[in-house]
Amino acid sequence: MTFSVAVSGASGYAGGEILRLLAAHPDIEIRTVTAHSNAGQPLVQHQPHLRSLAHLTLQDTTPEILSGHDIVFLALPHGQSGQYTDALGDAPLVIDAGADHRLTSQEAWDAFYGGGFHEPWTYGVPELTVDGVKQREYLRGATRIAAPGCNASTVSLSLAPGVAAGVVDPGDIVSVLAVGPSGAGKSLKPHLLGSELLGTANPYAVGGTHRHIPEIRQALAAAGGVAGDGIRISFTPVLVPMARGILATSTAPIAPGASDADIRDAWQQAYGDETFVQLLPEGHFPRTADVLGANTALIGLAIDRAANRVTVVTAVDNLVKGTAGAAVQSMNIALGLPEDRALTVNGVAP
Q: Which of residues 281-300 bind a second copy (CB under 8 A)?
A: 284-294, 296, 298, 300
Closest CB to a second copy among residues 66, 292? 292
- Count of residues in contact with a second copy, rule CB under 8 A: 89
Whole-number Å distance between alpha carbons of 317 and 20: 14
**Half-sphere exposure of residue 129: CA atoms within 13 angstroms, side-chain side:** 21
Q: Of 9, 161, 180, 322, which lies in the binding site for a second copy, with binding defined by CB under 8 A?
A: 180
Q: Which residues are catalytic?
A: 150
Q: Which of residues 185-204 bind a second copy (CB under 8 A)?
A: 186, 188-190, 192-204
Give the one residue of 37, 131, 132, 306 binding a second copy; rule: CB under 8 A. 306
From candidates 13, 112, 123, 271, binder to a second copy by CB under 8 A: 13
What is the per-residue binding string for a second copy in 212-241, x denoting contact by CB under 8 A?
--------------------xxxxx-xxxx
Long-range contacts of 297-304 (CB under 8 A, 24+ apart): 297/127, 297/154, 297/157, 297/321, 299/157, 299/158, 299/267, 299/271, 301/263, 301/264, 301/267, 303/254, 303/260, 303/263, 303/264, 304/251
Encoded one letter per residue, x for contact with a second copy by CB under 8 A and - for no contact, window 113-152 reads: ----------------------------------------
Out of 10, 93, 315, 328, name the contact with a second copy by CB under 8 A: 315
336 binds a second copy (CB under 8 A): no
Closer to a second copy by CB, 141 or 204: give it.
204
Question: DSSP secondary structure string, 51-118?
Answer: GGGTT-BEEE--HHHHTTSSEEEE---TTSSHHHHGGGTT-SEEEE-SSTTT-S-HHHHHHHT-S---
Chain positions 36 to 55 lying near a second copy, rule: CB under 8 A, are 47-53
Pairing of strands 133-134, 71-74: unpaired
Burial 205-219 (b: 16+ CB within 10 A, else e): eeeeebbbbbbbbbb
Which range, of 64-72, 123-131, 177-185, 327-335, touches a second copy by CB under 8 A? Answer: 177-185
CB of 63 to a second copy, least distance (A): 27
